[in-house]
Amino acid sequence: MDYPPLLTFTAEEEYRQEFERLYCRKPTVTHDGISVRFNRSDFDHCAYRSKSMNDKSIFSLPRAQRIHWIGLILQDPAAELFFGWDRVKRRVDRESRVALTADGYVVVIRFISKETKQARFVTAYQDDGKRTAAGFSLVQQIRRSPKWE
């Protein structure tokens, strides 16, 4: 799937309003029927960055410019799907799913209920090419996880 050009708003608040307009009014349904819910605070997870994973305090224009890709990727049957990773327990997380595009954009959801096909949005980001402690890029690390069943 070809994704649209990057958004080019003049102010951070415009990106936040667009995120809320696109995702917070109703769930986004994935290509395989999962209803994904978004909260307003989720904007902070996909449009901010920092040096540590627990402190997202720096607005990231490259992240914000791709917010309209999130729903498109969730609905893209060509996106690669993998189980998530629990970094605290250091194991595969079968309650989360990672959608990955060919160019390295990542969208993560976490299931509320697999039986009713309901999930919550966790985050989205573009792989920046940095290496993990194991020497892999984030995309390479994701592709080492089991494929979504």
Q: Are 74 and 36 in contact (CB under 8 A)?
A: yes
pLDDT value at residue 143: 86
pLDDT tens digits, 34-52: 999 999 999 998 998 876 6
- Predicted TM-score (pTM) of the model is 0.90
Could you tell me what percent of the chain has a pLDDT over 70? 93
Task: Give every CB contact of residue 138 below 8 A, 6+ residues apart in sequence.
Answer: 104, 106, 127, 128, 130, 132
pLDDT tens digits, 67-117: 999 999 999 999 999 999 888 888 889 999 999 988 889 999 999 988 899
pLDDT tens digits, 115-147: 899 999 999 998 877 766 677 777 888 888 899
pLDDT value at residue 67: 95
pLDDT value at residue 133: 67
Q: Tell me which residue of 121, 123, 125, 126 sits closest to 24, measured CA to CA.
A: 121
Token pair of 27, please? Answer: 């769930």
At residue 53 the predicted structure's pLDDT band, cuts being 50, 70 and 90, is: low
pLDDT value at residue 141: 82
